[in-house]
Chains A and B, each alone.
Chain A
Amino acid sequence: MGLFKLGGVSVKNLFSKPATKTYPAEPFEPYERTKGKIVVELDKCIFCKLCMRGCPTEAIDVDKDAKLWQIDHFLCVQCGDCVRRCPKSCLHQAGMWENVATMRQCEVNEFAADSPDQLVVSMSYGQAAAERAQKDEVAQKRIAEEKARKAAEKAAKAAAKAAAEEEAAKAAVEEEAAKADAPKAEDATESDASAAFDASAGAAEPSESDAPKAEG
């Protein structure tokens, strides 16, 4: 047993170079594979949402209609799953530096309408949620209108088809009746055909007048 066994090491350390990395005087030098914050290249992104489905903390939010890619850096645990899954390899993690902040924010990436460059905006939660809700509202309204219009077209087509079938059935019945009285039949079918045409036109009109009501 001895005393002060660490003495040799202590004296040696007095005269050798310090082991300290003097950050922040010395800049941060990452290795090739060092984990960091997730950064996206929006021009390569196809908004397939694979990264959103893979994220274990649900930190990523992707909106295909609004062309938005949003991430909350304070939820992200830097597991790297999204970087490995991306089919276009537009996500990068290696060596990116994480910033500290006095307020929790989420980072929203989108293309601005008047400039083709990727616009990166940091918004607080409330603000980002409100903007997304607003964009959602406009998008929802547009989708609802499309749906109503398509539904009206379909209804009109169905009504026209139904009316045409009715007339065809009527015409068939009257043709048979007309075959019994041949001379009268020609006039009758002509007038019947014109009547049937008028009837189908008349049948189309009410359905067309119905459609604006559904849209309005």
Chain B
Amino acid sequence: MSSTGKSPWIVHYDGSSCNGCDIEVLAATTPLYDVERFGVVNTGNPKHADILLITGSVNEQNVPVVKQIYEQMMEPKVVIACGACACSGGIFRDCYNTLGGADVVVPVDVYAPGCAIRPETIIDAVVKGIEILEQKRKALKNKTLVEPDVSRMQSARDKVVDGQTVAEIASNSTLE
């Protein structure tokens, strides 16, 4: 395993969540669960990070922010959707402002369920993410590109919210 796999750095962003999953992500770095034993460091800079932990059912205003963070990360990178809201929209699926999970905006590699997610599940998800990161790193070395799985993105983007499809909302929204 390369050094990236032995010490993945994470960046965490709260994409319209209730905070429950975010404090469990922070609690995973505290003495009881301590992911720093695996070399994981919680950094604030997306350009330093390998793994993006997204929580929350993304709302319209957050779409350009999440896209910017994803685009700033260096290849190879892995996105983990933590919690029921990030996987599918959760209990807020019917709200007028939510788009229905993180996989509408960025291609997600690992889905981790729970409400709020347990720190042990986060550790499982990061371990699975490291395996995928290794595959991507080897593919990059061999100059073969691993296409991200955008099938869920395509089907979710046809959902209509207030007369516009999600695809239109995502392409029109910009930070003012």
Interface residues of A (CB under 8 A from B): 18-24, 28, 37, 56-57, 72-78, 98-104
Contacts and interface: CB of A to CB of B under 8 A. Distances in A.
A104 B124 contact: no
Given A78-B115, A98-B113, A57 B123 contact: no
A56 B91 contact: yes
Nearest 8 pairs of A and B residues by beta carbon: A77-B115, A74-B87, A100-B112, A19-B31, A100-B125, A20-B34, A74-B88, A74-B113
A9 to B, nearest CB: 12
B114 A24 contact: no
12 contacts: A18-B31, A23-B123, A24-B123, A37-B113, A56-B91, A75-B88, A75-B90, A76-B113, A77-B90, A77-B91, A100-B124, A100-B125
Residue from B33, B87, B113, B132 with most neighbouring chain A CB atoms (10 Å): B113
A74 B84 contact: yes
A19 to B, nearest CB: 5
A20 B87 contact: no
Interface residues of B, number: 31
A24 B33 contact: no
Contacts, number: 76
Given A20-B37, A23-B33, A78-B114, A28 B120 contact: yes
B123 to A, nearest CB: 6
A76 B32 CA distance: 27
B86 to A, nearest CB: 9
B26 to A, nearest CB: 16
A190 B33 CA distance: 100
A74 B89 CA distance: 9
Given A101-B111, A102-B110, 11 more contacts: A19-B31, A20-B34, A23-B123, A57-B84, A75-B93, A76-B113, A98-B113, A98-B114, A100-B110, A100-B112, A104-B103
B121 A100 contact: yes
B128 interface: yes
Given A57-B93, A78-B115, A21 B87 contact: no
B152 interface: yes
B127 interface: yes
Contacts of B24: none
Contacts of B90: 57, 75, 77
A72 B31 contact: no
B106 to A, nearest CB: 15
Contact of A73 (B34, B91, B113): B113
B159 to A, nearest CB: 14
B109 interface: yes
Contacts of A103: 111, 149
Contacts of B128: 100, 102
A104 B112 contact: no
A21 B109 CA distance: 27
Given A77-B90, A98-B121, A20 B111 contact: no
